[in-house]
Amino acid sequence: MMIEYEHEYTPMLATAFGFLSRKGKKVNGSAINQAKHDFIIASGGCCLHCGTSLTRNNSNTEHIHDRALGGHNKAGNKIIICIDCNLARNKTMQEYLGQPSYWRGFPGNWDRVKKYLLWNAVTADKGHRAGRVFPEVHAIFEDILRSEGRKISPPKHWFGRDDNLTLISSQNNKRGFFVRFFDKIFGYHNVEQQSTISQADYMVGIETTEIDTQTVRPRKIVEVDETFRRHILDALDKVDGEVNLATFSSFFKLYLTSQGFNFKGLKQFARSYGVPKSRTNIQILQDYFPNEIDWRWDGQYTVFIQRKHEVFEVPHREEE
């Protein structure tokens, strides 16, 4: 795994190597973008390490590739995390690599520098727990949080590097998704009832309250302009993996604002295209994106959606 990450992050490592060989001569970059910071906070962004909800006061910009190791001051190298975790990352660096300037220890310290930088990049891009691939660095960081009495509960979604506002998902387990989806369909009511209703209607039924086969009938699907679908898919394409529909709804509202629209949310946006007021968010997605969006129920009230990437199929069990 370490080798794969070294390959994936070669440009970062090359920059650090060059920086340390130049005895720490820095390269200039762009300023912090406050609008993006605000956007992340407004969208309910969480610290990718500890899970704290980010606010203007408790969060700031972290350089994924540390400036002290030659990292650029550019959006693609920045992430918004909580201030306490930002400090803990700096403490981790000093505990693992000693005091700066790090070019003084170069090239003897290169192996440690490399592991520290890769841990930084991997946690930012793939989630806190992915940092376990670099156990020494990971243990130092977690020990710092524990010694401060802080919880380590990484969120399921966080905003990635500051240049594209992409929501990253740590749970992209297709197998789990299929199993739970089928459990919902076949585990909720008896087989006889299922045979009388379609999957889509069944899901609509449990979205409201108890299913009543007498009242389930096909919904009228109003024809809409293609821009309606394009905007929703554009926004969903910015999400990597599964996302809670409620989270996506607030994200979509901000997406619309960024596109110059002024709507209160997905439903109002849909109404402007003639979709009936009574349609719920999930019904809108079911009606207009049957081939593009998958959904999964988690409990009775929470639904996760994700962009469909492959043909739906039943998972096969492994022989034990």
For Zn ion, the binding residues (CB under 5 A) are 47, 49-50, 52, 82, 85
Output the smallest distance, CB 92 to Zn ion, in A. 13
**Please, which residue, 125 or 294, has the CB nearer to Zn ion?**
125
- How many helices (H) and strands (E) in the chain? 13, 7
Question: Residue 304: beta bridge partners?
Answer: 244, 296
Report which DSSP code applies to 277.
T
Owner of token pair 């968010």? 281
Output the smallest distance, CB 176 to Zn ion, in A. 26
Q: d(Cα 289, Cα 237) in Å, to the nearest integer?
A: 13
Closest-CA residue to 301 (of 282, 285, 284): 282
Q: CA separation (Å) from 96 to 132, 140, 250?
A: 15, 8, 40
Output the smallest distance, CB 51 to Zn ion, in A. 7
Output the smallest distance, CB 158 to Zn ion, in A. 10
**Please, which residue, 85 or 293, has the CB nearer to Zn ion?**
85
Report which DSSP code applies to 265.
S
Output the smallest distance, CB 144 to Zn ion, in A. 11
Q: At what angle do helices 110-126 and 83-97 cross, to 10 degrees?
A: 160
Output the smallest distance, CB 231 to Zn ion, in A. 33
| DSSP letters for 72-113 | --SGGGEEEEEHHHHHHHHHHHHHHH-SSPGGGGTTTTHHHH
Output the smallest distance, CB 116 to Zn ion, in A. 18
Q: d(Cα 11, Cα 17) in Å, to the nearest integer?
A: 10
Q: d(Cα 217, Cα 124) in Å, to the nearest integer?
A: 46
**Please, which residue, 77 or 123, has the CB nearer to Zn ion?**
123
Task: Compute the residue count for the chain.
Answer: 320
**Please, which residue, 49 or 279, has the CB nearer to Zn ion?**
49
**Please, which residue, 62 or 294, has the CB nearer to Zn ion?**
62
**Please, which residue, 61 or 281, has the CB nearer to Zn ion?**
61
**Please, which residue, 75 or 85, has the CB nearer to Zn ion?**
85
Please answer whether residues 303 and 289 qualify as being in contact, where contact means their C-beta atoms are separated by less than 8 angstroms: no
Q: d(Cα 219, Cα 28) in Å, to the nearest integer?
A: 57
Output the smallest distance, CB 266 to Zn ion, in A. 30
**Please, which residue, 149 or 260, has the CB nearer to Zn ion?**
149
